[in-house]
């Protein structure tokens, strides 16, 4: 398994929410997603530079800035 983190641009999203057993976790103005192949978490950096580490085994929902392009990558 590679330890190299991959990343993707989330700047096209207004917010991103994670539905967890304990409730909903919301990230406003996400900018970058980082993940590792085979990893059990991923990270999201928001516009303030705060890094959020979330589990991969949850539901994810987001609001795209351009609804005609709901998925960037």
* Boundaries of every domain in the chain: 6-64
**1, 2, 3, 16, 18 from 61: Cα distances, Å:** 28, 27, 26, 6, 6
Position 60 pLDDT exceeds 70: yes
Q: What is the pLDDT of residue 2?
A: 60
Stated pTM of the model: 0.86
Strand order in the sheet with 41-46: 6-9, 30-35, 41-46, 51-55
Q: What is the pLDDT of residue 57?
A: 83
Instruction: Indicate the SS3 state at residue 56.
Output: coil
Beta strand 23-28 pairing with 41-46: unpaired
């Amino acid at each position: 398994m590679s330890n190299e983190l991959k990343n993707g641009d989330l700047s096209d999203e207004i917010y991103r929410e994670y539905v967890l057993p304990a409730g909903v976790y919301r990230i406003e103005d996400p900018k970058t997603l980082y993940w590792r192949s085979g990893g059990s978490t991923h990270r999201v950096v928001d516009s303030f530079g705060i890094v959020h580490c979330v589990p991969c085994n949850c539901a994810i929902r987001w609001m795209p800035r351009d609804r005609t392009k709901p998925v960037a990558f």
